[in-house]
Structure 1
Amino acid sequence: MKQNIRPYLLSAILGLAFFLGLTLVVSAQEPETTPEDTLPAADTLPPAPLTPAAISPDALEDGLPPILGAAPLPPDGRGVLNLSLADLGLNDFTLATNGRLSIEQSFYLPSYMQVLTGTVLDVDYRYEASAVGSDPEVMVALNETEVGALQLSGTISQTSQTLNLDGLLNVLIRNRLNFSLNSDLECGLNPPEVQSLIYNTSTLRIPYQLQPLQPNLGRYPWPFYERAYRPVESYVVLPANPTPADLSAAATIGAGLGNFARGDVVLTTTLDISVTNDIRQNYNLILIGKPGANRLLDQVTLPLALNNKILKPEYGVIQEVQSPWNPYRMVLVISGQTDTALVRASQALNRNVQFPGMSGPVAVVQDVLPPIPEAGSERQVDLTFADLGLEDQVVFGARPQRLRVDFELPGAFQLVGNSQAVLSFNHSQLVNGTMSSLDVYLNEIPVGTTLLDETNTTDGLLEIDLPAWQLKSGRNRLEIQIEMHLSPEEDPCEVFSDARLWTVIRSNSFIRLPYEAQPVQPTLTLFPYPFDKDINLSDVQLVLPARPNAVELQAMMKLAVNLGQAAGGSYIALAVASADKLAPEALDNYQTILVGRPSRNHLLRAINEQLPQPFTADSDLLEPTFDTVVLLPDPSQNIGLLQEFPYGDSENYVLVISGTTDQGLGWATDLLLTPNAKRGGNVAVIKEGNVVFGLDTRDVEAAPSGEDNSVGQVEPGPLKAGFDVARWLALSQRWW
């Protein structure tokens, strides 16, 4: 399809782009048709989002300003970043002669941060040693360069030591910080007992100068996503009265960033009327809306005026500018004169547009075209080690060493064909080929091995079949054990950490997982299935109240990021509809996620009687359904609710994210998106963020209530064959 459209689009694209110095984008994605009407004004404004706490200039050295808005940025972009080992994800750890000898932690710094002189590492540690002779020590290295040794002299002591790191930190590639107990202590028949506890309060102190950001859509999703020591946080700013098109554009951008960042991104959605000075000054902003709809658009000088005569009503516009409030932050503008144009712009942002491609500060989207259809339900995923966050891994010395690679498998797919791990490696020519080996384990079971010899010195390749019975839903672990030797006559003490012995596992190694979607019965535990069955999310719709508040908007964005990460398509577009514009029949056509309380979501009220756990009429209270005693609902209960059920005769499902309060709705959203959380079958009731009641109602027929529930005994209804009676009796532990 792309080849067919190229001839007649080429001249128009190049001519207009040449004349304006802009990028004109035609992308392969089906346009989204969205109503043009604007939602009515809210009776009350949504509460303002949480804003960064004010911090005095004297406290700047204690913040983490280069990425998150946790503290105001220094006015001149100059400051000191204090990055503890806890900030890097490490707990306190122990190195010991009879245990772990070394540990390495990787981290990234923002690419627009220039590291200044004066960088140090303050190490807090405690040690216990009974060494005789030379004093033991912990060697500290940064990016393969030794920066100093922690002396472990004496017997027991707690102390600290400062190490100079000037000139060693990188902002373009990964940094590696390594702590290693002196390996010579392992030699001899009676090695001394030495252990050192390194506290995660140990801190990197990095003087920096931020560099002003230069707009370039060719680098997107940077700077809204960048691999760093913490996720980048940005604000998505919508008009005060967002249309379904505004919401769809925001959700599409969120899903795209979730896909790009594999979920490692933080997006907060708010309205233009709720944006504070702190938000403007400390965060990247994504402004969405038609001309005149979003008041922040009027405060930004754009390279291409939105009323420019070249912009036809159906043209979407993407623009990127340095923030007028802070040169170290970026503003991304998604706009167009119509709802269709606005949605096109958001969809184009997620595409891999190669010809002519985006560049510079402006892209005009003339059209988006249908995606190339996928045949069948079979997919193949190749996860490179780089995709999983690992660069080339280098190990030295004769002691056995293990590298770990974790990867996830969904719960609603069946592997087909041959799953494989393909390792790309090379090693030192001095390695003895009859004594050195590379062994591979899958979930602690050996699956493959090879000798490190002259046949694989430079271009080693090991292909290993991964048995289906050893793979499991959720997290899997591939371990690579490397053992190298020089000769049978070698002295173990001399070659234990000998740099002449080395092996590199390359980051282009990959795990191949062919799988096929399975028609399993959805449960809350399997989420995001079935909503990620279409990798472009074209069969999914989110339904929000007509006037979404801050909690509902944030639930929409969190869902979008999660769904984009799970789906992983190249043409992602996520539709958002207004509950007051839809009839229940519309649920037949989409996998639908309903967000909001019944008092706010018109569609949820309309289908209340079909819910596994209904609400009482004209309220947000839960109707007692699954107990043998019917109690009057307590209006003071603060409860979150998740429920999922098939709708009508279609194969589509409806997921309801709700609660008796907005706080309960927030709990339900967070629990749904928490990895590996136990959420029950198709109904989960949440208090204080935890499931207190989970049930699969497809196993239970509700107990009927009598004509007069105030007197007499309520008998349970008939139970399905094979139903667990003990489980039914356990329901007497009421949750409302």
Structure 2
Amino acid sequence: MKRLFGSSKPKKPTTNERRNQSTRWQKHPRFWLLLFCVILIVILGNNVNLVSAQSDRSLKEQEDQLIREYTLPSAPTQTPVYKPLPPSPPKNKKPSAPATRKLIGPQPPPQQPQSPPRKPTPRPQTPEKPKPQPESEPKVRESVTSETETPDQPRAKPRAKSPTIKEEETTTTEALPTAEYILQFNRSPVVGNRFRLRGIYSTARLGFTRPQGWKITASKALIRYQHSPALIASRSNLTVQVNGTSIGSIPLNRKQSQIGQALFSIPARLIQDYNDLTIVVQQQNDEKCSDPSDATLWTEVLPDSELQFEYQPQPIPLNFSRYPYPFFDQLSLDANKIVYLLPKVNDDWLIAASRLQAALGRQAEFRPIETSLVKDIEDLDFGDRAVIIGTPATQPTLKDLDLPFPIIKNQILDGNKTALPEDIGVLILTTTLDGAVPVLVVTGNGSEGVAKAAQFLVQPDTKKLGTGQAILVNSLKDVPAPPLREWKGFLPTKDSFKLSDIKTQENGEPLQEIAVRGAGAPPVQIDFRPLPDDEFTRGSSMNLRYSYGPQVNPRTSAVEVLLDGVFIGGARLTSEDGATNKKLNVDLPANLMNRLTSTSKLEVAFRLNPREPGECGKVTDQQLTGTVHPDTSFKLNRQQSVQLPDLKLLQSGYPFAAPQDLSNTAIVVPDAPTKTDLLTMLAFSERLGRLSKADSVKISAYTTASLPPEVRKTNNLVAIGTRDQFPLPEALTKEAGGFGLGSAFSRQSDRASIQTLPDDGGTIKEIISPDNPERVVLALSAQTENGLERVRQIISKDSWFFQLKKDTVLVSSNQENTSTYDPDAYKLDFLNRAPTTRRIENTSLLGKIARILQDNWIFLPGGILAIALLLYGISQLYLKRLSDQKSH
């Protein structure tokens, strides 16, 4: 056994053998390390598998992150600089606009009548010095102007030669072009046709801004005025102040109310971004004592008074940290001009353009925007802001621009000359050749990249990250849609809330204490905007908390509460020593609450009069104060109930702006849309942007063929186009809405059917969606392009848009060339013809019963009579049966 198996006692190694074994350990360290790892794995067992999986995932995430961080090209040697040039008025034409510009520096050379128009051209890849070309009248193209804009404003015309401007700054030796801008008072709705000041001492204020990029060199105020002939010249005067600093005063000494004018010089240092021009008049018609209520104490500042500015436009380095400037300037005195370069229309361009326009509408709020479309970048004019959306394949013009990313074979390359993936968005700021037009490029190598780049700009939180000339959007987190009834700037959805829970529309901050001072103090105005689907019942109330100062006259002083100018409650101010934190419970009438709109105001007016009457009309009233406290509380009895279709609800954006990110709204245009179709789409997107506030924009847009069936069924739809190419023709039939547009210029209704020659009117019509009774379809249509243009103007202009009501609007005009600023330019006829209506409500059973009784009140007397007869018959039958039982 010992021979067969050997000895069981191990043999001791010799010294040489031990040395050789030690050498083997040193020669094979990897083997032993591997053996150690195997033993460790056996010991740890399943736990090692978990740790290994987590390590693999972590390694993969790091690899993915490295893959997504692409190599950028070398930084450009020069930052693109936008060089705005001052425009000059058209030749042989006197500007008729209330705001004009003219050159007062070196004039351009004489115009060559036979020369082609000079237009901004793209910046080439290799720097070349452009040759100056003669100028001519700018080309007229289709455009749309939203909000208020100067009528007949001359389009900016390029100068034939401009001075050289350095990249970042200008030196004192450079002669920048100087221009003059005239701003007339009648552009302000405060002025209108007259600016009247009454009484012994009266003030009036007019606000104006200084556009970014303006260096004011000189400014003046030309005041044209007219005053009462009863004023005493030695005791009556007019003073002009700018931002609280007086710039001059004149006596009111005109005879027989003759028109006078005075020119006041405004120091350039006084002009800020936001400015107040204050006109103060002191008027006396008696040497001893003038009656402040005397009707002869008046002075009028005429609406053709004006502010005159001399300025130098400064070069503007383009940087995404300033976006949306210079494409949109909040301080601009003119309409911001946005021009889209039109490619072959597809869904990618439609969605990106509509979302960008909606985001600009939110940024603009009440400020004007003029939107245009061009097919060639050569058609751009000075003063335009160009936007190019699409891949290099759909926008070949990108190859001709000076971009930091090379484009080869319709592919955008990174710093390693490798094509970017299709899901990477690319944003670039550049200019045309001479820097006269800034260009925003929203692109990528695929539709997903273009959509991601556009979405980056419409989300406020992500937009703040932008800087530099170019941005690669690698990843973008989707912002979830807000709740349907979460509307910023509207009343809280809770039935009980405080004044501090209401947010201001300007900055979204909660309301704090609001104080007023003086005998003629303006009322405290609070935006009181219920949600469009709110319906109020009896029992709503307001618990006002207020304070007032001492020395008020308790016999004539009071606090009043008004709702849209209607008095709903008040109380006397009874304490001569003032009072703190007083309470006043005010009932909010249901009939008034249900008439509130998106512009409604709740006013708290302090009627403060001093204890001692003033002498000779001079009243010392600055010690009189009134304060509204933020713990003022509201209790509202309301329910969610609204009936559709109703175009009046469109004034607040409902139902298209629910939720506020517009994710439930889709716009549909024809398969081959015209410029009018696309501009109408942009106008409606901009309008929804002005009416909504959210952290994202998710409105969609499609052509007729590409509209997904699920979107058609689940979304509110806006169909745009003339009748021949209307995307949803069933919406224009008489059966769908009681009014229809037919072939051969026919109009149909329940009562008549006619044909017109021609039909230049427009139609705005809302119906319940045939695919989903919870959704609506808005039709913006006409028989001709001219009629659709009028519909677009109605959507764009506040003065017309906020007149919409009922379910159908017919737009017509007796003028061939209508002016969008003429209040009589269009005629609107409102119809209620919808055969199908739908009430969307979320109420209790008792509320539904009350709603049924309200809607069918005409049958209520007959129903009561029928029930009474039924009860009478039952009672008689019961009594007869009782009598029969007794007789037996």
Q: TM (normalized to structure 2)?
A: 0.63
Larger mean CA deviation between 8-17 and 683-692 belongs to 8-17
State how far apart, in whole Å, the 1-side matches of 2:542 and 2:452 are. Answer: 39
Q: 2:429 aligns with which of 301, 311, 320?
A: 320
Q: CA deviation at 1:584?
A: 6.8
Q: CA deviation at 1:83?
A: 0.7
Instruction: Encode CA deviations 1:246-295: one digit per residue, 9 max, x unaligned.
Output: 1111100001111122253414141333x555x34221111212114224
Aligned CA distance change for structure 1 residues 331 and 446 (closer, same or farther; 3 Å): farther
Aligned CA distance change for structure 1 residues 518 and 215 (closer, same or farther; 3 Å): farther
Instruction: Say if 2:552 and 2:578, in contact at 8 Å, map to a contact too.
Output: no
Q: CA deviation at 1:318?
A: 1.7
Q: Which residue of 2 aligns with 1:561?
A: 686
Q: CA deviation at 1:340?
A: 1.7
Count residues with an aligned counterpart: 651
State how far apart, in whole Å, the 2-side matches of 1:584 and 1:683 are. Answer: 26
Q: 1:242 aligns with which of 331, 337, 345?
A: 345
Instruction: Encode CA deviations 1:32-74: one digit per residue, 9 max, x unaligned.
Output: xxxxxxxxxxxxxxxxxxxx99714997997248998733366
Q: CA deviation at 1:88?
A: 3.2
**Alignment-mate amino acid for residue 159 of structure 1:** G
Q: 2:828 aligns with which of 691, 709, 722?
A: 691
Query: Rg: which structure is higher?
Result: 2
Q: 1:182 aligns with which of 279, 282, 303?
A: 282
3-state DSSP of counterpart to 1:580: coil
Q: Which residue of 2 aligns with 1:44?
A: none
Instruction: Say if 1:255 and 1:573, in contact at 8 Å, map to a contact too.
Output: no
Q: Which residue of 2 aligns with 1:543?
A: 668
Larger mean CA deviation between 371-380 and 236-245 belongs to 371-380
Instruction: Say if 1:598 and 1:605, in contact at 8 Å, map to a contact too.
Output: no
Instruction: Encode CA deviations 1:118-150: one digit per residue, 9 max, x unaligned.
Output: x11111111223245833112221111122223
**Alignment-mate amino acid for residue 627 of structure 1:** R
Q: 1:402 aligns with which of 522, 525, 528?
A: 522
Aligned CA distance change for structure 1 residues 566 and 398 (closer, same or farther; 3 Å): closer
1:626 aligns with 2:734: no
Q: 1:302 aligns with which of 403, 408, 420?
A: 403
Q: CA deviation at 1:634?
A: 3.0
Q: Which residue of 2 aligns with 1:82?
A: 182
Larger mean CA deviation between 196-205 and 180-189 belongs to 180-189
1:339 aligns with 2:457: no
Q: Which residue of 2 aligns with 1:293?
A: 394
3-state DSSP of counterpart to 1:101: strand
Q: CA deviation at 1:565?
A: 1.7
Relative contact order higher in (CA < 8 Å, ≥ 6 apart): 1
**Alignment-mate amino acid for residue 775 of structure 2:** N
1:468-483 equivalences under 5 Å are: 469=590, 471=593, 472-479=596-603, 481=605
Larger mean CA deviation between 438-447 and 129-138 belongs to 438-447
Q: 2:321 aligns with which of 218, 225, 230?
A: 218
Q: CA deviation at 1:152?
A: 1.0
State how far apart, in whole Å, the 2-side matches of 1:355 and 1:110 are. Answer: 22
1:72 aligns with 2:157: yes
Larger mean CA deviation between 665-674 and 254-263 belongs to 665-674
**Alignment-mate amino acid for residue 357 of structure 1:** L
1:663 aligns with 2:786: yes
Aligned CA distance change for structure 1 residues 84 and 96 (closer, same or farther; 3 Å): closer
Q: CA deviation at 1:643?
A: 1.8
Instruction: Encode CA deviations 1:99-136: one digit per residue, 9 max, x unaligned.
Output: 9932211121212211113x111111112232458331
Q: 1:125 aligns with which of 225, 237, 261?
A: 225
Q: Which residue of 1 aligns with 2:19?
A: none
Q: Which residue of 2 aligns with 1:205?
A: 308
Q: 1:63 aligns with which of 100, 123, 139?
A: 100
Instruction: Say if 2:389 and 2:441, in contact at 8 Å, map to a contact too.
Output: yes
1:107 aligns with 2:186: no
Q: Which residue of 1 aligns with 2:758?
A: 636
Instruction: Say if 2:529 and 2:601, in contact at 8 Å, map to a contact too.
Output: no
Q: 2:474 aligns with which of 366, 371, 374?
A: 366
Instruction: Encode CA deviations 1:465-497: one digit per residue, 9 max, x unaligned.
Output: 994745512432344656778x85695569747
Cα RMSD (Å) = 4.9
Aligned CA distance change for structure 1 residues 677 and 350 (closer, same or farther; 3 Å): closer
Instruction: Say if 1:239 and 1:289, in contact at 8 Å, map to a contact too.
Output: no
Aligned CA distance change for structure 1 residues 443 and 359 (closer, same or farther; 3 Å): same
Instruction: Encode CA deviations 1:549-581: one digit per residue, 9 max, x unaligned.
Output: 111111011000011122322111221101133
Instruction: Say if 1:392 and 1:504, in contact at 8 Å, map to a contact too.
Output: no
Aligned CA distance change for structure 1 residues 167 and 281 (closer, same or farther; 3 Å): closer
State how far apart, in whole Å, the 2-side matches of 1:109 and 1:353 are. Answer: 27
1:599 aligns with 2:720: no
Larger mean CA deviation between 643-652 and 207-216 belongs to 643-652
Instruction: Say if 1:398 and 1:484, in contact at 8 Å, map to a contact too.
Output: yes
Larger mean CA deviation between 395-404 and 667-676 belongs to 395-404
State how far apart, in whole Å, the 2-side matches of 1:250 and 1:357 are. Answer: 21
Instruction: Say if 2:733 and 2:740, in contact at 8 Å, map to a contact too.
Output: yes
Q: Which residue of 1 aligns with 2:862?
A: none
3-state DSSP of counterpart to 1:282: coil
Aligned CA distance change for structure 1 residues 229 and 539 (closer, same or farther; 3 Å): same
Q: Which residue of 2 aligns with 1:579?
A: 704
Instruction: Say if 2:551 and 2:611, in contact at 8 Å, map to a contact too.
Output: no
Q: Which residue of 2 aligns with 1:41?
A: none
**Alignment-mate amino acid for residue 639 of structure 1:** G
Q: CA deviation at 1:392?
A: 13
Aligned CA distance change for structure 1 residues 412 and 53 (closer, same or farther; 3 Å): farther
1:324-473 equivalences under 5 Å are: 324-327=433-436, 329-353=437-461, 357-375=465-483, 377-379=485-487, 381=489, 382-384=502-504, 386-387=506-507, 398-402=518-522, 405=525, 407=527, 409=529, 412-414=532-534, 432=550, 441-444=562-565, 445=567, 467=588, 469=590, 471=593, 472-473=596-597
Instruction: Encode CA deviations 1:583-621: one digit per residue, 9 max, x unaligned.
Output: 77752122111100232235437985863257677x463
Instruction: Encode CA deviations 1:8-42: one digit per residue, 9 max, x unaligned.
Output: 799949994997799xxxxxxxxxxxxxxxxxxxx
Aligned CA distance change for structure 1 residues 512 and 272 (closer, same or farther; 3 Å): farther
**Alignment-mate amino acid for residue 669 of structure 1:** R
Q: CA deviation at 1:658?
A: 0.8
Instruction: Encode CA deviations 1:609-649: one digit per residue, 9 max, x unaligned.
Output: 863257677x4633523225x44x23422221222212235
Which structure 1 segments of 5+ residues have no match?
Answer: 23-51, 701-719, 724-736
Aligned CA distance change for structure 1 residues 16 and 267 (closer, same or farther; 3 Å): farther
Aligned CA distance change for structure 1 residues 691 and 523 (closer, same or farther; 3 Å): same
Q: CA deviation at 1:680?
A: 4.8
Q: TM (normalized to structure 1)?
A: 0.74
Instruction: Say if 2:88 and 2:102, in contact at 8 Å, map to a contact too.
Output: no
Instruction: Say if 1:64 and 1:83, in contact at 8 Å, map to a contact too.
Output: no
Q: CA deviation at 1:153?
A: 1.7
State how far apart, in whole Å, the 1-side matches of 2:611 and 2:807 are. Answer: 62
State how far apart, in whole Å, the 1-side matches of 2:808 and 2:178 are. Answer: 51
Q: CA deviation at 1:311?
A: 2.9
State how far apart, in whole Å, the 1-side matches of 2:396 and 2:677 are. Answer: 21
Q: Which residue of 2 aligns with 1:590?
A: 715
State how far apart, in whole Å, the 2-side matches of 1:324 and 1:423 are. Answer: 62
Which has the larger helix fraction?
A: 2
1:166 aligns with 2:267: yes
Instruction: Encode CA deviations 1:207-246: one digit per residue, 9 max, x unaligned.
Output: 0111112222223222333333645422332333121111
Aligned CA distance change for structure 1 residues 360 and 179 (closer, same or farther; 3 Å): same
**Alignment-mate amino acid for residue 142 of structure 1:** V
Q: Which residue of 1 aligns with 2:246?
A: 146
Q: CA deviation at 1:201?
A: 0.6
Aligned CA distance change for structure 1 residues 690 and 609 (closer, same or farther; 3 Å): closer
State how far apart, in whole Å, the 1-side matches of 2:66 and 2:582 are. Answer: 44
Which structure 2 segments of 5+ residues have no match?
Answer: 1-57, 76-86, 104-148, 163-175, 407-411, 490-501, 814-825, 838-854, 859-888
Instruction: Say if 2:235 and 2:284, in contact at 8 Å, map to a contact too.
Output: no
